[in-house]
Amino acid sequence: MKKFDIPSSYRSPIIGKVKAKRKLDDPRKQDFSPAILNLGGIDFIISRHFGFCFGVENAIEKSYLAINENPDKRIFLISQMIHNPDVNNDLIDLGIKFIQDTNGDQLIPWEDIDKEDVVIIPAFGTTIEIEKILIQKGVDIKTYNTTCPFVEKVWNRSAKLGDNSFTVIIHGKHNHEETRATFSHSEQNSPSIIVKNLKEANWIIDYINGKLTREQFAILFKGKVSVDFDPDIHLSKIGVVNQTTMLASETQEISEMIKKAMLSKYGLQDINNHFADTRDTLCYATNDNQSSTIEILKIEADLAIVVGGYNSSNTTHLVELLEKKFKTYFIRNEKEIDSINQVNSFDIHQKKIQRFNTFIEKKDKLRIIITSGASCPDSVVDNVIQRIIELKSGKSNQ
């Protein structure tokens, strides 16, 4: 795999060595069991796969290239490069400005952008509508387009489904940048609908089985379907793709549920004309990270720490998996650890930060799980480990 030129500050002396050894010992990625590293008398259980993926490193490399190659130009990002506050703040400090926030709300009017400006398309990709705006302004949208190739793979799969007259169901969060981009590309040549979870997938099945009216369907999926979407027509031929960072098991379950409903309605003999068996469209990094986390569930530990941006979808799903068994803390970086007892952790259900006064247990032998999302620098994970060691040894006053 290509080695990217990213700032050395994102790399880690501890994590880097662990990853290098695991890659050497297991080049085919057949062993998803975690590594156990004893540091400062603590067993750190380190996930087999985590941290920067291909798409993230590609995006960071191109962003820094844009800065170095255009010292006298204004440089903009359509929205956050990736969902990690440390990386995004570094880019802001270097003078890059965001045109939109993560919800698609305008921060800088399009009128303020001209053809002399450099505009970076983030790893999530962008919508057809935004591409057209930039092209009309004469802005170059190719040189610094950092769209992840695995996101583009989903777009290509959607296009193929559309060519065969299938409706595209996108398993994703409808307001996530990547899902907005995928939906925009998908609806160009196929009816499209976004489902967030099993509950929303069941609404589709209820309509197929005649348990929902058109009016009820329209209310439930307002803002989540393509223009002129007709459920009576467009739910007769279906294919499923997804936002590449969703939970793999949930995508599979949604596909199986819908396929079962189509089998019940149209029969086995005609199923291929009504349901397209698309292979899983999650990216390799999401699959590897989730598989590694599932493997961790087989062992015992005192607590789990997940490091990453709070608006990171793939990181949130790691928290979902771990919290089924372990007391799990979701933190942005080491600064959220105030003391051996106190930590600020993001609650993914209530969408807010909670302060805990019982963090690291007072026991001689501690086992702590460590992992992070695909947009989190290894150096941040390293800092978390070092912070815990420092506090446990009593060398810090905080």
- Cβ-in-10-Å burial (0-12, 13-18, 19+) of 302 comes to middle
Known catalytic residues are: 178
**Can you tell me the distance from the alpha carbon of 344 to that of 241, in angstroms, rounded to the nearest whole number?**
35
Measured in degrees and rounded to the nearest 5, phi and psi for residue 41 equal: 80, 10
CA distance 118 to 77: 9
Residue 368, strand partner residues: 44, 303
The CA R_g of the chain, rounded to the nearest whole Å, is: 23
Contact yes or no for 380/331 (Cβ under 8 A): no
Tally of CB atoms within 10 A around 174: 17
Cβ neighbors of 13 (< 8 A, separation 6 or more) are: 382
Q: What is the 3-state secondary structure (H, E, C) of 147-211?
A: CCHHHHHHHHHHHHHHHCCCEEEEECCCCCHHHHHHHHHHCCCCCEEEECCHHHHHHHHHHHCCC
Residue 77 · residue 96 · CB < 8 Å: yes
Q: Residue 4: CB partners within 8 Å, gap ≥ 6?
A: 57, 58, 60, 61
**Strand pairing class (303-307; 328-331):** parallel
Relative to beta strand 42-46, strand 366-372 is parallel
